[in-house]
Amino acid sequence: MSKLFDFGLERLTGQPALSGVVKGVAAGGRGTFFLETFGCQMNDHDSEKVAGVLLSRGYVQVETPEAASLILYNTCSIREKAAQKVFSRLGEYREKQDEGKIIGVLGCVAQQEGEDIFARAPWVSLVCGSASYSKLPQMIAELEAGNHRVTGLDTDTDETFETEVTRRDNPWRAYLTIIEGCDKACSYCVVPYTRGPERSRASDSILREVGQLADLGYSEVQLLGQTVNSYADPTPRRMCFSELLLAVADVPGIRRVRFTTSHPSDFTPDIVEAIESQPKICDHVHLPAQSGSTKVLRAMQRTYSREEYLEKIVMIRNASRPIDITTDIIVGFPGEMESDFEQTLSLLDEVRYDSLFSFKYSPRPNTPSLVMPDAIPEEEKGRRLAVLQDKQREIQSRKHEALVGKTFEVLVNGKSRRENQWFGYSTSHRMLNFTSQAQELLGTYVQVRVTRAGPNNLMGEHNV
């Protein structure tokens, strides 16, 4: 679960507590909620917005289910076993309903399992998929009115999930969803099914929120979307993604703009030009390849070939300032031959990613790849994953060694338990652990010189 920073509605809204809206606050009684989140950044941010909806209705967030009157479980189902995990967690919550608590399931698993959740766990009162979050305030109101079975499972909505208050987990870096759902149809992916079709948020609403965030002291914003660069402004301004990046960076007080996740097919030269022209746009692109074999990419319905993907990499590498590139790789997709896997390994050699997330393929419900022939045995998937990760470790070791002696500007995000130890992120999203004698650095930008490097970490010293 995300760490809860200790700040209240005043800090979130920039206004005195919403006394006209707040009602029924009674710590330990009805009016407290516990929200547990598993999954990607989109899920984390959805939970921040759900928390905002509840806070603005007068609920108080607590850190244990025992202290809560409303228990919510928000999880994704991209990886296997997520559904089983939810049901086992719901089993633990079963007796809590007898104590008068309301239990709800949110997110992709809620969308995927739908009303079956009520059959398997009758003590659940709320089932709401991520495409229906905009209706969450009404659903909470129905629960408060005593309705014991409330669902939100539509995926045909054209609305995005915007809230008046978002309880952000980090006081310096704010996530901001700019596009929800997905119109791509990757054969292994549940997102088009669970999150519905692509809906972009209006540019004026995004820019207004970024302005509010800057006024509240946030200096870094991360624009989110399953395919963030497919953004299409629904207003008459018709901003494209690169124009939006530049406009967000122009908001006074904003110092860093990140974005994730980009789809290779929609990664166009104007995005690189925007990064080149505006130093506030971070020099990091997460560009999932998924495989280095065109044959496997076709089976995955990824809409690009290996060669087309590599053209995008060359375009990014040719930028006038260095841009770090990270990726996602799936090994063991049905029909992936040893020669296909070798092409993925050679992609790593060719691109030399700064970091990667790698996964064994796992079939997901309601996806075309579920019924594809030539499944790869689990043991072989595990072997391929280990080989891939070894190769990447080697690449990262070399890349990290080359960074020793270099200095990075770091936004300080945390303090370690060890004395004088801090950590933060560079604009290229490298995490640096560093020593400093300073008393207070959280939320500030400091210069850190790298003194030591391992394959997965960088250590440094504060350059005063």
Residue 322 contacts by C-beta under 8 Å, 6 or more apart in sequence?
Answer: 283, 428
Greatest extent of the chain over all pairs of C-alpha atoms, in Å: 65
User: Hey, what amino acid is at 88?
Assistant: S
Count residues contacting ligand SF4 (CB under 6 A)?
Answer: 10
Task: Assess 152 for contact with ligand SF4 (CB under 6 A).
Answer: no
**Gap between the Cα atoms of 433 and 424, Å rounded:** 7
Contact between 458 and 450 (Cβ < 8 Å) = yes
Which stretch, 58-66, 115-123, 183-191, 237-245, contacts ligand SF4 (CB under 6 A)? Answer: 183-191
Q: Which is nearer to ligand SF4, 112 or 170 (CB)?
A: 112
Task: Assess 191 for contact with ligand SF4 (CB under 6 A).
Answer: yes
Residue of the chain from 189, 221, 329, 395 that contacts ligand SF4 (CB under 6 A): 189
**Pair of tokens at residue 80:** 């296997």
**Count of helix runs (H) and strand runs (E) in the chain:** 14, 19
Task: Assess 112 for contact with ligand SF4 (CB under 6 A).
Answer: no
Task: Assess 298 for contact with ligand SF4 (CB under 6 A).
Answer: no
Least CB distance to ligand SF4 at residue 366 (A): 12
Asked if omega into 261 is within 30° of 0 (cis), the reply is yes
Least CB distance to ligand SF4 at residue 394 (A): 27
* Strand segments (E) across 44-120: 60-61, 70-75, 102-107
Least CB distance to ligand SF4 at residue 328 (A): 9
Task: Assess 297 for contact with ligand SF4 (CB under 6 A).
Answer: no
Which stretch, 167-175, 177-185, 213-221, 353-361, contacts ligand SF4 (CB under 6 A)? Answer: 177-185
Residues 236-275: x/- map of binding to ligand SF4 (CB under 6 A)?
A: ---------------------------x------------
Q: At 61, is the secondary structure helix, strand, or coil?
A: strand
**Gap between the Cα atoms of 342 and 196, Å rounded:** 35
Task: Assess 383 for contact with ligand SF4 (CB under 6 A).
Answer: no
Least CB distance to ligand SF4 at residue 338 (A): 24
Task: Assess 103 for contact with ligand SF4 (CB under 6 A).
Answer: no
Q: What are phi and psi of 313, to 5 degrees?
A: -65, -45
Contacts 24+ apart (CB under 8 A), 304-308: 304/264, 304/265, 306/343, 306/347, 308/264, 308/265
Q: Which is nearer to ligand SF4, 78 or 282 (CB)?
A: 78
Contact between 272 and 312 (Cβ < 8 Å) = no
Burial class (CB in 10 A: 0-12, 13-18, 19+), 92: exposed
Task: Assess 182 for contact with ligand SF4 (CB under 6 A).
Answer: yes
Q: Which is nearer to ligand SF4, 62 or 182 (CB)?
A: 182
Least CB distance to ligand SF4 at residue 376 (A): 19
Q: What are phi and psi of 347, to 5 degrees?
A: -65, -40
Q: Which is nearer to ligand SF4, 144 or 328 (CB)?
A: 328
Which stretch, 2-10, 185-193, 276-284, 314-322, contacts ligand SF4 (CB under 6 A)? Answer: 185-193
Least CB distance to ligand SF4 at residue 382 (A): 22
Contact between 120 and 103 (Cβ < 8 Å) = no
**Gap between the Cα atoms of 343 and 142, Å rounded:** 54
Q: Which is nearer to ligand SF4, 39 or 192 (CB)?
A: 192
- Rule CB under 6 A: which of 48-87 touch ligand SF4? none
Q: Which is nearer to ligand SF4, 303 or 433 (CB)?
A: 303
Residue 406 contacts by C-beta under 8 Å, 6 or more apart in sequence?
Answer: 449, 450
Task: Assess 299 for contact with ligand SF4 (CB under 6 A).
Answer: no
**DSSP code of 418?**
S
**Which residues make up the interface to ligand SF4 (CB under 6 A)?**
182, 184-186, 189, 191-192, 226-227, 263
